[in-house]
Amino acid sequence: MTVIEGYTYGSAASSPVTLDDLKDLRASVLFGPEDEAALRLAGDVLESQVEDVLDVWYGFVGANPHLLASFSTPEGQPVDQYLARVRARFGQWILDTCRRPYDQSWLDYQHEIGLRHTTAKKNHTDSANAPSYVALRHVIGLIYPITATIRPFLERKGHSAEQVEAMFQAWFKSVVLQVALWARAYGDGKEW
C-alpha cells in the first residue's frame, strides 16, 4: 500500500451529522443490506479499473471550463500537482465507497470531504492556489456523470445483468447519499 498524501480517513474530526441522521438518509435513498453486498462486489470489479474510471472523470472535468476552474490558478492555469494529489484520493474514494462500513469513521470522513469542497478547507490539504470553494450546485450536478459513467466499468468483468444492475443501483444510491452528507458543510447548516 502506498501512502496517499492528504488522505486522513480514520483521523478526521467528528461530523456534526449523527448516525440517526444517516439512518433517515439511508431510508430516503432505499439503501439496505443488499446494496452493501452489491457494493462489496463492485469493489472487486472496480479495483483493477480505478485508473480508467479516473481517466474518464478527469477527462470530463478537463473538457468543462467551469469545472476545471476549481483546479486552476486565478490566471486560469490548471495546477498539476493539485490535480494529481486529489486524483489519488479520488481513486481511494471509489474503493471506500464500495468497501468501508458506513459507520462513524465513514461519517466523519464524509464531512471532511464536504469541507474540502468549501471555503472551510478547500486548497488547504494540498496548499493549492485555486478558487476557495466548489459551488454546491456543481457538486449536486456531478451526481449524474459520476453515476452514469460507472456502468460500463461494472459490466466489464463478466457479471450477470442482474448483478450489474444491483451494483449500479447501489452505486447510484451511495453517490446521492454522500452528496447529501457533503451538503452539510455548506452554509450555516440550519436548513440542511
Query: Could you list the residues that contact a second copy (CB under 8 A)?
Result: 21, 24-25, 27-30, 64, 66-67, 118-119, 133, 135-138, 140-145, 147-148, 169, 172-173, 176-177, 179-181, 183-184, 186-188, 190-192
Cell output for 132: 476557495
Say if CB 176 and CB 108 are below 8 A apart: no
The binder of ligand HEM chosen from 17, 113, 164, 170 (CB under 6 A)? 113
**Contact pick of 125, 149, 163, 169 for ligand HEM (by CB under 6 A):** 125
CA atoms within 13 A on the CB side of 57: 23
| Cell of residue 172, nine digits | 447510484
Q: Which residues contact 150 (CB under 8 A, 6 or more apart)?
A: 46, 53, 168, 171
| Interface ranges with ligand HEM (CB under 6 A) | 6-7, 61, 67, 70-71, 86, 89-90, 93, 113, 116-117, 122-123, 125-126, 128, 134, 138-139, 142-143, 146, 175, 179
